[in-house]
Structure 1
Amino acid sequence: MRAAALLALCLAAPVAAQNVVTSPAPDRVGVTIYRDLSRGDQRPDRNWLNGYALISETRTIAIPAGESELRFEGVASGIIPQSAIIGGIPEGLVERNRDALLLSAGSLVDRALGQRVNLRRTDKATGKVSSEDAVVRSGSDGGVVLQTASGIEALRCTGLNETLLYDRVPAGLSARPTLSVKVRARQPLSATVTLSYLASGFDWQADYVAILSPDERTLQLQAWLTLASTDDTSFVGATTQAVAGRVNREAAEVPPAQAPELRLQCWPQETTSDVGSIAPTSAFDGVPPPPPPPPPAPAAMMSREIVVTGSRMTAERERLGDLQLYRIPEPVTVAARAQKQVGLLDQPSVRVQPVYRFAIDAGETAAESAGQLVLRSTNREAEGLGLPLPAGNLVLFRDGATRPLLIGEATVRDAAVGEKVEMVVSEATGVRARVTSNGKDGRAITLSNDRPVPVNAEVEFSQGGEVRIAGARLVRRDGKLFWLTSVPANGTATLTYRVRKP
């Protein structure tokens, strides 16, 4: 009897509601962006960024006694939840969850299944407004079905303007990406909580701008650090860094956040183009709920939404083991779906060696081609460099009579201090090569130069047979055979050779 009475008492006792504590935004945030190394020399695709970021947040949270759910709103929409590290909670965590369902017209209906809502109708002819209670019996997938005192009906199938009103936002829905955790505390406390996690949808790039001197011997070289994000969350006043180097990282599959639309199935007095997604309002706190985040834009649209901002700040370089860390000295905003640039380096006088390069098939008997302008240097202080150069794109100008003129673009590869730097710039139509045949296996290559200054040239012989030259010396470099020569101003240089086919 006593056991039965105790059991009845326990069943009759009310179950204590779980506390929900929401942190709407971080007090401080740091963003460290890592490059997508798989793209090689290609520029980041601003519609599909495959780099990632380490987000570090600090939040002050009042934790009540007992078990509570802490909701971290405003995290990155590309958060990788399994990477999250949460510190500063004295008694630890019970569990953690990423809330992937965002507030939208469809998710409101889906979360209201079996619940009572208010159905408001407006007669288009008289303007009369009526309302009644209804119970949601079917969700957004195949049309919304409601049960009222009059029976079962489908939303928007009466010919009247209809909308649904909710007295509250259903639990578990948020207008912004959210990470939630469950904690226990013996007594109420105020905790400074640190949240760190990885997020996809970020990348960065070095963009170089250079002006070539008239004698083609020096460069004025500047570089910008371009940060890009396709995330839906903006990080305002963030301490921001970029990391260069190869970091071993395993791929992680993360389902995207969902904000389902509400699709209605009938339009008795309208056309299909007139009926779209219905946006229910809410009476929660007397104001409508915030709109859901926009879905990912198509590629053509997103390219127009990317915003580029520039700054005269210069990133400070630090060594991080085998990696290079570029720290932006002032807090900046890493905006949602945007691109930002800050200064990376400014080298006023970099010594370069211009070379006009040709690639010749040794078996060719008649051919003509333009030279490729290549600028070479060595990454050391004596040449005006001497600092790590992250990979990026170079836009090259030459001093003109009144203003600099664009002469080409190139790719800069990662170059450590002491390594060679090579920039393949543009095709030079004024420096050309012409191959002729003077016998069964005899050949001649003539380099012409219409410039008023002499130029250095190199000819790479590839495939087609073994090249034999009398009275001239060829250079072998990286397993390839080259003829190196100087072509006089407004003059020519000729090499005769024989080819023995394999």
Structure 2
Amino acid sequence: MMSCPLAHDWGTIGFVLPAKDEKVMEEVCGMRRWQRYLVEGLGMIILLGLPLHPSGTAKGQGNEHWSTKEHRQSLSLTIYNTNLGLVTERRTVELPEGRVKLRFTDVPRSIDATSVQVKSLTDRDALSLIEQQYRFDPLTPETLLKRYLGKEVILVGTRLEENTETVQSQRATLLSYEQNQAVWKIGSEIVINPSYREIHFPTLPEGLTPQPTLVWLLRNSHAGRQTIEVSYLTEGLDWQAHYVLHIGPEGTQADLKGWVTITNHSGTAYEDADLSLIAGQPRRVSERPSPRYPRAVQTMAAKAPVEEQFAERRFFEYHLYRLNRRTSLPDQQTKQLSLISASDMRLTKEYVINGQRTYYLQRLRPGQPVREEVEVAVRFENTQDNHLGVALPAGIVRVYQADADDHERFVGEDRIPHTPDGEPIRVRVGTAFDIVAERKQTEYQKMADRLFESAFELTIRNRKQQDVTVLVNEPISGDWEIISANYPYEKTTAGSVQFTVPITAQREAVLVYRVRVRY
């Protein structure tokens, strides 16, 4: 009895073969040695043909050369908040003079191959790209089996004899493989899904790659080592801003913390990268639908001091935020980084009632008033005088306030647009519980053809312990005018009017107005 010396290394089963099967054992163990070599060195040895040169530059055989992330000198990421990233990396390569084929690996699955740019930094006129291919036929058990249709492999199984597990190997030809079901020819028999533990393949089929690869045909006039810079666009990189607004107990001051959430679904990892974020809307011509990626789970930031990590500046018609240190973005992961912090901002609360255009086109429900929601919003100025004054990327603002027991409570959230320095910020957080509004149409007359006149009473009851002021926004279509009103109003747009109604605590106010509309 002889044992396979690689059995323990593989950590699977202890193979023990009868002496008469020595030849089979040698064949199986030899193929195990090759398969182990394949797994550990797939992208470097089997596909590349030889190990990396000790100098760390890309080497090859003949006119075919390889460049992997091991040759990388620097990596820069510019991520847009539109599911788009610009990757710029510098690698060292060693190329002969003349026409050279270079395989550039470790690029993302979501790369836009039409955006690739390559140039030599050592000699700017030395390198020119003649032809490019993007190859990504991934090496998986399924693709490997399909490449072996009609070809012979070795199926390895086991059997138990005298409490000893022994290995059995047999040659088989794969006839069909669909939906994880295989049809084999073993000897003279056709077998569906025979019992086996492993499949041994004699060679790796041409074209299968463990990772996406750019294959370039280059014309090179600078023999020897040089540094190249490669840039390309890729989908699957995205970032969003998220804010936490903590309102003080009196409701007149607040602290703001801003975070960026970066997601990487591009298909590769980015290690030790210089990171910049662009806030803005670059126009893109869509040639294909963008893939959808899982939304990252957000967490609330604690009220601890936030380290200023990003330097913000204007860039073209956008704003750029550059991280002041290098960072890594693993594939299929999410990372959160602090963006801004502001304390003791002055803040005001607004109560708003928004009417509807249809109120002036028809009779409202007779016999009962129409209940109106009272929207609650908070408003603050994005200025240095208000302890802020920075360009804020679009994102979600989550609002919190501590209760009487100093327990933090969530009160609402809203999405804000890109907001430059000096602009006000308004965050809608919900509806008021203790302010009740009811609308009643008191008159509706058709004065002439396409001429109507309506009268309304809007009763607003303030059940709070504090005085409030409610803004009433009324959208009105057509050619209109306010005939009378018992509270001040302002024509805010061509199709809307706003009334300002102050209400004493535990009292009510009734807004009465008449409007004439011509359609």
- The root-mean-square deviation of aligned C-alpha atoms, in Å, is 3.4
How has the CA–CA distance of structure 1 residues 312 and 133 changed in structure 2, closer, same or farther, with 3 Å as cutoff?
Answer: farther
- Quote the Cα distance in structure 2 between the aligned partners of 1:412 and 1:255: 24
Identify the residue that residue 446 of structure 1 maps to in structure 2. Answer: 459
Which of the numbers 367, 380, 383 marks the counterpart of 1:380? 383
In 2: Cα distance, 1:208 partner to 1:426 partner: 17
After superposition, what is the alpha-carbon deviation per residue over 1:364-420, rounded to whole angstroms, capped at 9, x for unaligned? Answer: 461223311122334333333322221111111123231332211122112223333
Of 472, 477, 482, the residue aligned with 2:492 is 477
Inter-partner Cα distance in structure 2 for 1:181 and 1:135:
36
CA–CA distance in 2 between the matches of 1:498 and 1:185? 82
Following the alignment from structure 1 to structure 2, what is the Cα–Cα distance between the partners of residues 225 and 198?
21
Task: Give the letter for the 1:387 counterpart.
Answer: V
Q: 1: distance between equivalents of 2:378 and 2:499?
A: 18
Does residue 1:107 correspond to 2:143, yes or no? yes
The 2-side partners of 1:385 and 1:444 are apart by 41
2:236 match: secondary structure = strand
Partner of 2:87: 55
The equivalent of 1:77 in structure 2 is 109
* Aligned twin of 2:322: 327
Alignment partner of 1:220 out of 255, 275, 293? 255
> Could you tell me how far apart the structure 2 residues matched to 1:235 and 1:32 are?
12
Q: Aligned residue for 1:497?
A: 513
- In structure 2, the partner of 1:405 is 409
The 3 A distance-change label for structure 1 pair 325 and 424 is: same
Matches within 5 A, 1:26-37: 26-36=72-82
Deviations 1:425-468, CA, capped at 9 Å, x for gaps: 21111122122355665432222222222222100123498653
In 1, Cα distance between the equivalents of 2:103 and 2:439?
A: 73
User: Residues 227 and 339 of structure 1 are in contact (CA less than 8 Å); yes or no, is this contact kept in structure 2?
Assistant: yes
Q: Deviations over 1:89-127 (max 9, x none)?
A: 833233221112011112223444566543435457895
Separation (CA, whole Å) in 1 of partners of 2:469 and 2:387? 22
> Does the aligned pair in 2 maintain the 1:357–1:459 contact within 8 Å?
yes
Q: 1:281-360 counterparts in 2 under 5 A?
A: 312=307, 314-360=309-355
What's the secondary structure of 1:81's corresponding residue? strand
Which residue number in structure 2 is paired with residue 393 of structure 1? 396
CA distance in 1, matches of 2:512, 2:225: 85
Tell me: CA distance 1:382–1:307, structure 2 relative to 1, closer, same or farther (3 Å).
closer
Instruction: Give the deviation of 1:333 after TM superposition.
Output: 1.6
Where in structure 1 are there 5+ consecutive unaligned residues? 1-15, 37-50, 257-295
Whole-angstrom CA distance in 2 between matches of 1:185 and 1:140: 46
2:68 pairs with 1:23: yes
Percent of paired sites with the same residue: 23
Instruction: Tell me how far apart the structure 2 counterparts of residues 187 and 137 of structure 1 sit (CA, whole Å).
Output: 50
Alignment match, 1:369: 372
SS in 2 for 1:108: helix
Q: State the 1:147 CA deviation.
A: 6.4
CA distance in 2, matches of 1:143, 1:214: 66
Contact 1:135 1:147 in 2 (8 A): yes
Aligned match of 2:46: none
2:134 to 89, 93, 98: 98
Equivalent in the alignment of 1:429:
433
Q: 2:43 is matched with which residue?
A: none
Equivalent residue of 1:328, what SS?
strand
Instruction: Judge conservation of contact 1:80–1:252 (CA < 8 Å) in 2.
Output: no
8 Å CA contact retained: 1:80, 1:254 = no
Does the C-alpha gap of structure 1 residues 145 and 87 become closer, same or farther in structure 2, counting only changes over 3 Å?
Answer: farther
CA shift, 1:422, in A, is: 1.9
C-alpha change, 1:17 and 1:307, in structure 2 (3 Å) is farther
Residue 249 (str. 1) matches residue 252 (str. 2):
no
Q: Do 1:224 and 1:344's aligned partners in 2 also have CA atoms closer than 8 Å? A: yes
2:213 is matched with 178
Q: Which amino acid aligns with 1:169?
A: L
Q: How many angstroms does 1:229 deviate by? A: 2.2
1:160 and 1:471 map into 2 onto residues whose CA distance is 89
Q: For residues 411 and 80 of structure 1, do their structure 2 counterparts lie closer, same or farther at Cα, with a shift above 3 Å needed?
A: same
Correspondence list, 1:87-236, <5 A: 87-88=119-120, 90-112=126-148, 117-122=153-158, 128-132=166-170, 150=187, 153=190, 156-157=192-193, 159-161=194-196, 163-185=198-220, 189-236=224-271
Normalising by structure 1, report the TM-score: 0.74
Distance 2:153 2:206 in 1: 15
Give how far 1:474 is off: 1.6
RCO greater where, 1 or 2, for CA within 8 Å and sep 6 or more?
A: 1
Which structure 2 residue ranges, 5 or more long, are not aligned? 1-60, 445-453
Aligned CA distance change for structure 1 residues 237 and 17 (closer, same or farther; 3 Å): closer
Alpha carbons 2:136, 2:209 under 8 Å: kept: no
Q: Which residue identity does 2:79 align to in structure 1?
A: I
Matched residue of 1:161: which SS? coil
Asked whether the 8 Å contact 1:313–1:342 carries over to 2, the reply is no
Indicate conservation of the 8 Å contact 2:241/2:259, yes or no. yes
- After superposition, the C-alpha distances for 1:319-340 in whole angstroms (9 at most, x for unaligned) are 1121100111111122212221
CA distance in 1, matches of 2:155, 2:261: 50
Specify the code of the residue in structure 2 equivalent to 1:219: A
* Cα pair 2:372 2:439 within 8 Å, conserved: no
Is the contact made by 2:457 and 2:513 (CA closer than 8 Å) also made in structure 1?
yes
Counterpart-to-counterpart distance in 2, 1:254 and 1:173: 26
Q: CA deviation at 1:484?
A: 1.0
Question: Using a 3 Å threshold, how does the CA distance of structure 1 residues 180 and 139 change in structure 2: closer, same or farther?
Answer: farther
Aligned-pair CA distance for 1:196: 0.9
One-letter identity of the residue aligned with 2:382: N
* Structure 2: distance between partners of 1:495 and 1:309: 41
Amino acid across the alignment from 1:423:
V
Distance 2:154 2:290 in 1: 33
Q: Contact 2:466/2:505 (CA < 8 Å) preserved in 1? A: yes
Give the aligned partner of residue 447 of structure 2.
none
Say whether 1:455 aligns with 2:468: yes
Name the amino acid aligned to 1:427. T
The structural deviation recorded for 1:80 is: 0.7
Kindly state the Cα deviation for residue 487 of structure 1 after the two structures are TM-superposed: 1.8
| Post-superposition offset of 1:24 | 4.2
CA distance in 1, matches of 2:342, 2:385: 12
Q: CA deviation at 1:70?
A: 2.3
Q: What is the distance in 2 between the residues matched to 1:319 and 1:495?
A: 47
